[in-house]
Amino acid sequence: MTTPITTSVFDLFKVGPGPSSSHTIGPMKAAFDFRQRVGQLTEPEQQRADSLHVYLYGSLSATGKGHGTDRAVVAGLLGWQPETTDPVALTNLLKDPAERYPVPVGNQTVLLGPEHIHFERKRYESPYANTMVLRLMAGNETLAEEEYYSVGGGFILRKGEPEPDPSAQSVPYPYSTMAELKVQLIQHHLTLDALLMANEMALTGSTRAEINARLDDLLAFMHRAVRRGLRNKGVLPGTIKLSRKAPLLYGQAKSLANSSDSFLLFLNAYCLAASEENAAGGIVVTAPTSGASGVIPGLTYLAKRHFHYSPATLRSGLWAAAVIGFLVKHNASISGAEMGCMGEIGTASAMGAAFLTRCAQPAGAIETIEAAAEIGIEHHLGMTCDPIGGYVQIPCIERNAMGAAKAYNAYLLATAGRASFQKISLDAVIKVMKATGRDMSKRYKETSQAGLALSATEC
């Protein structure tokens, strides 16, 4: 077995401001980490500090402006945390180019302005597409420097950081692939929920009741984003001037409630609502990323409102969704900058298919959940990431609705007939996703250098 999966469900589903977990939440967390580190310099060093510079490379440089990476970095340096950030205050950062922000360095402060955030165009040797370097200076002398990688879904790595010690994060039922997970389930006669709950309790030290309450909170955060998006009208921020559409679709769905279209209209409205909130910089839940934060919220809202699933069933569905996200993150990547959109919407769609399957078939076999997720990924393979203007709007918002619709169909396809009809395993399709992502030109991986992004002039 390779290193076992030790991701917490609460790291996969993170509350934070939109529009992009890798370009907003990740950089905010990296900047916050740097702020903590410079606070540990010696006092003489802190006293000499006179400037702080942030260098953004790769996809962070290419689409960071549209994604609000500069504002996220300032917020992190000011000590803000994603889950408690006020989205309006975040939007207002850097609005006035003359404003300078005091960043504490121990007992001193250095002033930070837009001239200290560098969107670097030159090539930078780095193992990850989203790379940022933070540097604390005294004149021309570097007092502290750290290099961070934002690897999707708001997860960050720091250069030189020792690999987490697997023994320090041991789980009772280790697995790194779907095949290994199935062996654990059979050997220990466990349900998927029971296995994942036991691992989560070991990882977080929380009780079953605490974890259930936090899962309910996550669903509540997701559904608040949907409800806000169903109400909020107007034009989204940015140069595209894209009008919000969710309230319109919701009105249509209600007026056509007895037509055969209404089910899909409601689902479209819910997914667009959460995605439009994300695009507006509102508080969303990464599922598994902010760009894909409309699929699972839309489907869970539909499941709650239209199928009347109980809180326990919704939680079971969320576990099934989570394990698919864990497997893709561990064995490929959930980052648009690494995999293109198949890593974001493709994964979200597979998670959604697993969610629906688990909710509809409480005693259903893991093989059926696996088949649904496999279909979800299979039909997103090769999907590029080419957001117009670097904004998480076109194609992202509609893509969430399309990902949810495919998730629903994947669930229907997987639950028809026997799971053994499925000839491709989930592990195999995840490997294909990884290989396809590696082969994909970086122009199609969240750099806005090709594809739809080149249609920007027509908008």
Q: In the bound complex, what is the minimum distance in angstroms from residue 316's beta carbon to ligand SF4?
A: 27
Nearest to ligand SF4 of 276, 344 (CB atom): 344
Asked if residues 348 and 287 have their Cβ atoms less than 8 Å apart, the reply is: yes
Q: In the bound complex, what is the minimum distance in angstroms from residue 345's beta carbon to ligand SF4?
A: 5
Candidate list 247, 446, 447, 453; residue touching ligand SF4; CB under 6 A: 446
Q: In the bound complex, what is the minimum distance in angstroms from residue 325's beta carbon to ligand SF4?
A: 15
Q: In the bound complex, what is the minimum distance in angstroms from residue 380's beta carbon to ligand SF4?
A: 10
**Which residues 345-384 are close enough to bind ligand SF4 by CB under 6 A?**
345
Q: Residue 134: enclosing H or E segment and its boundaries?
A: strand 130-138
399 binds ligand SF4 (CB under 6 A): yes
The pair of structure tokens assigned to 207 is 């009780």
Give dist(CA 411, CA 349) in Å, integer.
Answer: 10
Q: In the bound complex, what is the minimum distance in angstroms from residue 154's beta carbon to ligand SF4?
A: 13
Distance of CA 171 to the CA centre of its chain: 24
Mark the segment that binds ligand SF4 (CB under 6 A) among 69-77, 174-182, 246-254, 394-402: 394-402
Distance of CA 203 to the CA centre of its chain: 21
**Which residues 213-272 are close enough to bind ligand SF4 by CB under 6 A?**
none
- What burial letters (b/e) apply to 240-259, b meaning 16+ CB within 10 Å? bebebbbbebbebbeeeeee
Pairing of strands 156-158, 141-150: antiparallel
Mark the segment that binds ligand SF4 (CB under 6 A) among 191-199, 222-230, 337-345, 356-364: 337-345
Give dist(CA 381, CA 394) in Å, integer.
Answer: 19
Candidate list 70, 147, 200, 344; residue touching ligand SF4; CB under 6 A: 344
Q: In the bound complex, what is the minimum distance in angstroms from residue 226's beta carbon to ligand SF4?
A: 17
- Please tell me whether residue 157 adopts helix, strand or coil conformation: strand
The backbone region for 252, taken as left when phi is positive above 0, alpha when psi lies in -120 to 50, beta otherwise, is: alpha
Q: What is the DSSP string of 170-215?
A: --SS--SSHHHHHHHHHHTT--HHHHHHHHHHHHH---HHHHHHHH
Q: In the bound complex, what is the minimum distance in angstroms from residue 11's beta carbon to ligand SF4?
A: 19
Nearest to ligand SF4 of 364, 437 (CB atom): 437
Nearest to ligand SF4 of 286, 357 (CB atom): 286
The pair of structure tokens assigned to 414 is 């997987």
Total interface residues for ligand SF4 by CB under 6 A: 13
Nearest to ligand SF4 of 178, 377 (CB atom): 377
**Which residues 291-310 are close enough to bind ligand SF4 by CB under 6 A?**
291-292
Asked if residues 134 and 146 have their Cβ atoms less than 8 Å apart, the reply is: yes
Candidate list 94, 385, 426, 429; residue touching ligand SF4; CB under 6 A: 385
Determine the straight-line distance between the first and last CA of the chain, rounded to whole angstroms: 49
Of the candidates 456, 443, 393, the residue with the CA atom closest to the CA atom of residue 59: 443
Candidate list 281, 387, 437, 451; residue touching ligand SF4; CB under 6 A: 387
Nearest to ligand SF4 of 229, 291 (CB atom): 291
Nearest to ligand SF4 of 41, 392 (CB atom): 392
Q: In the bound complex, what is the minimum distance in angstroms from residue 402's beta carbon to ligand SF4?
A: 11
Asked if residues 335 and 343 have their Cβ atoms less than 8 Å apart, the reply is: yes
Contact residues for ligand SF4, defined by CB under 6 A: 291-292, 336, 341, 344-345, 385, 387, 392, 395-396, 399, 446
